[in-house]
Structure 1
Amino acid sequence: MLKLLGEFNPDIAAVILENAPRCSSYISHEIQQDILSIYAMKVRAHIRREIGDAKFSILVDETCDVAKREQMAIVFRFVDKDGVLQERFFQLLHVRNTKSLTLKGALCAELSKHSFDVQNLRGQGYDGASNMKGEFNGLQALFLKDCPYAYYVHCYAHRLQLALVAASKDVVPVSQFFQKLLFIINTVDSSSKRHDELHDAQILELAHLLDIDQIDTGKGANQIRALKRPGDTRWGSHLASVSSLMDMFKVVSSVLQTIGSDATAGSNRADGDTAFNYLTSYEFAFVLCMMREILGISEALGKALQKKSQDIVNAIRLVSSTKALLEQMWSDNGWEYFYLQVVEFCADHGIDVPDMNETYILRGGRARRQPDHFTKERYFRVEIFRATLDSQLTELNLKFNEKVMGLLSISGTLIPKHGFASFNAKDICKMVGKYYPADFTQQDMIGLEHQSNHFAHDASNSEDLKKISTLTSLCRCLVVTGRHMIYNFLDRLIRLLITLPVSTASAERAFSSLKIIKTRDCATRWKIIILQIVCWYK
């Protein structure tokens, strides 16, 4: 940077680097750290002025650097004076540990240092760790004690399927299932030779099915497929992995048998034999069918929440329908229908179905607590099937509790689509009185109701408002057209709603960019500061 400056300014070139006095080169580590600190201080001061007295949300994530020091990244989410939703990376703090009290103390100290009023906090976005989301002692609960309107929203809400998979892994047989699934995929598709064997096996299977007229032909039909690995950071990968294995079950079984009987395979024969035993066990087939059904039910909701321009009204409907379908699956009729599906799948693939009235012997430490008359039906129905469904419903209720659903409802009714089909000013005022009593007085509520009715009439006759499809674009439009002065109470409500990470695509992009900060070297810090400056000017 010094050389670059010197090329454009001869006066600077005359006094820097080799031309500088020995004690004034300004390229030592300490000097560079001072310069970085000044840059960071300037950027943070600009962000603080940008937020002003507006309401804001905090988004927090944690990561370790190469020295194994815990670092906490802080992001502010707010609406600026021009009605534009902003997310600003503000600070990277070292914390001694990740206990909720430690994190709260560090956050409060940082807020106080920069003169932020915690009473202006209107939203919290964290990950799903217990120290963050804990209902009683989590970070979100500690802040709610100080500011009851700082509503917590899971920062990965739109990546629903990953959260549901994580919840289902609390059930031991399901967690073991995913370990076995990965082992089978690695055994079958770990090398080019195995991949070719899988490819050839599919061709033979398709030829056999065509001979007996069990599949249809046509352009694009019966394509050769590949097994997909589940990933803990890739949305939808678990459903894709489970579905691909179910669709290729016979082919995978054939390849594993070949590996297990190949005399030249050496130690790989053991892997092939073990993977084949996993694949053809009834418990594996049971969980395979169950996870495909459960993740398939939640897929539509996950996709709706992933969209950048969300249809909030339909998202709310999908939340309700997803819960209803899972509860229906949990019922006695749902169990009977699902069990018949499993039996049919096992019959098609030559898997022995056990007698459900036989006694099931628990393994490991759980065997000591085995109740009397513990049948296999009870094990599969209660210990696996219903336990997994309970974990899904609990996770959905945590993510979409009454408060979040209420705020989503307000967001949906304020978007001027379809002639305000679901708009009701009185209902909006009731919800505002319930969730934002600190931001609206009784007189403000009366004004909000009148303004809402005027706005509904205005929007239905205005071409520029008819094109609005999201709350963020509506907030910006109100400022550009000057309507924020006329509908000042409505503008205040919209700003509060979009400050929460529930009415726009997601705040995850703020976190994903921070995941690169796992080093303490000076070069990377320069990159971070320059990135901040670029974002500042943008």
Structure 2
Amino acid sequence: MLRVAQAEYMIEAFKLGEIETGQGLNQEMGLARPGDTRWGSHYRTVMHIMFLYPSIKKVLFRIEKESKGAEANGAQTMLTVFKSFEFVFLLHLMNEIFGYTNDLCNALQKREQDIVNAMDLLEFTKVELDVLRQDSGWQEFLTKVTSFCEKHNIKVVDMNGKYIPMQRSKQFYRGAINYHRFHADMFLGVIDRQVQELNNRFDEVNTELLRCMSSFNPSNSFAAFNVENLVKLAGFYPHDFEFEEMNQLRFQLHHYINDVRNDENFKNLRSLAELSMMLIKQGKVARYEIVYKLLKLVLVLPVATAGVERVFSIMNLIKNKRRSKMGQKYLNGCLVTLIEREFFMQAKNKDIIAHFQSIKDRKVIL
């Protein structure tokens, strides 16, 4: 029904000249359910609801008229909420919040994270949210909401009038004014909660730790390398470094960076994992033992929970109700092959068969 309603809306919009035609434009959209660990999916859902707003409204209206009983009552309730100013206001507010934080979310969910870029995006996001919070940001945002309401024939509330709760008793927020409810409680309240959440997740200690970690980044010929930051990073682990090692670390870092920058094998490294493997491969671990110890501490530090959340999501697929008695060893084997499927896809079937054939003597050749 939504696809048909959207097609009808597009045809009418074409006739009125409200939208343009061309390659890549006006592609079909849906309303996929947002993922638990993929926050970008929430932003995509909000965008699609805004774009498909007239079509969704038409579908709800048809369901209300053509259905009976609980389905018709549910559609009527949804349509009432959907056509309210408060819903449109909150829809635009979520679009603004997700829009400003989307790049940061995507950066934090990458497998090989660029910590420098992520920390810069964190600061940029805070600045942008602070600008949105100002009076000029409020006026610009309210203009967008008002324009959307006028375009779709939604009644715009008087900001100086009394606030009427949506789908709730008038006893709630008794005596509240629309301006205070929409501006202070909703607009400023949501932005302040978002900024507070970012500050809690990335406090001064965590941010400093991540910035110091980024000095190990081998990208662009170790452009982010900084001796002072790495010495400061070692200071976060006082129980792992002895007094002599802390004094020697600064000098060993100077030898290390001169060595790897002049070694062709370290030219095109992109991640800390690749750096550690190359140090082992070239036999430089014993030479820079203290530096390698610090690098190992950085590698085991959980920078973000995105990877861990994906593992638990995959675990729900592997160990389900039908396979709840799966042993730990078998579960680990299944999880590794699914989590690292990009690596295992490179293995050839004949090599896998040959490996299992060589494990022990078998009656039948695999």
TM-score by length of 1: 0.57
Larger % of helix: which? 2
Structure 1 gaps of 5+ residues are: 1-194
2:186 maps to 1:384: yes
Task: Give the Cα separation in 2 of the matches to 1:209 and 1:369.
Answer: 40
| Cα pair 2:231 2:250 within 8 Å, conserved | yes
* Distance change (3 Å), C-alpha of 1:207 and 1:381: same
Aligned residue runs from structure 1 range 53-92, under 5 A: none
* Distance change (3 Å), C-alpha of 1:369 and 1:528: same
Q: State the partner residue of 2:121.
A: 318
* Distance change (3 Å), C-alpha of 1:485 and 1:368: same
Cα offset, 1:350, TM superposition: 0.9
2:245 to 444, 447, 472: 444
Q: State the partner residue of 2:13.
A: 209
2:326 maps to 1:529: no
Aligned residue runs from structure 1 range 303-314, under 5 A: 303-314=106-117
Cα offset, 1:369, TM superposition: 7.6
2:196 to 374, 388, 394: 394
Structure 1 counterpart of 2:77, one-letter code: T
| Cα pair 1:310 1:505 within 8 Å, conserved | no
Cα offset, 1:534, TM superposition: 7.8
Task: Give the Cα separation in 2 of the matches to 1:290 and 1:498.
Answer: 38
Task: Give the Cα separation in 2 of the matches to 1:368 and 1:260.
Answer: 28
Q: Looking at both structures, which has the greater relative contact order when contacts are Cα pairs under 8 Å and sequence separation is at least 6?
A: 1
Task: Give the Cα separation in 1 of the matches to 2:88 and 2:238.
Answer: 52
Larger % of strand: which? 1
1:248 to 46, 52, 66: 52
Cα offset, 1:231, TM superposition: 4.3
Identity %: 34
Aligned residue runs from structure 1 range 242-321, under 5 A: 242-262=46-66, 265-267=67-69, 268-321=71-124
Cα offset, 1:423, TM superposition: 2.2
Q: State the partner residue of 1:471.
A: 272
Task: Give the Cα separation in 2 of the matches to 1:476 and 1:505.
Answer: 23
Q: State the partner residue of 1:14.
A: none
Task: Give the Cα separation in 2 of the matches to 1:358 and 1:316.
Answer: 43
Cα offset, 1:376, TM superposition: 0.7
| Cα pair 1:285 1:342 within 8 Å, conserved | yes
Q: State the partner residue of 1:500.
A: 301
RMSD: 2.9
Task: Give the Cα separation in 2 of the matches to 1:534 and 1:256.
Answer: 44
2:343 maps to 1:343: no
Q: State the partner residue of 1:184.
A: none
1:408 to 210, 227, 237: 210
* Distance change (3 Å), C-alpha of 1:534 and 1:219: closer
Q: State the partner residue of 1:173.
A: none
Task: Give the Cα separation in 2 of the matches to 1:469 and 1:365.
Answer: 58
* Distance change (3 Å), C-alpha of 1:199 and 1:315: same
* Distance change (3 Å), C-alpha of 1:340 and 1:533: closer
Task: Give the Cα separation in 1 of the matches to 2:136 and 2:9.
Answer: 35
TM-score by length of 2: 0.82
Task: Give the Cα separation in 2 of the matches to 1:369 and 1:226.
Answer: 36
Structure 2 counterpart of 1:462, one-letter code: D
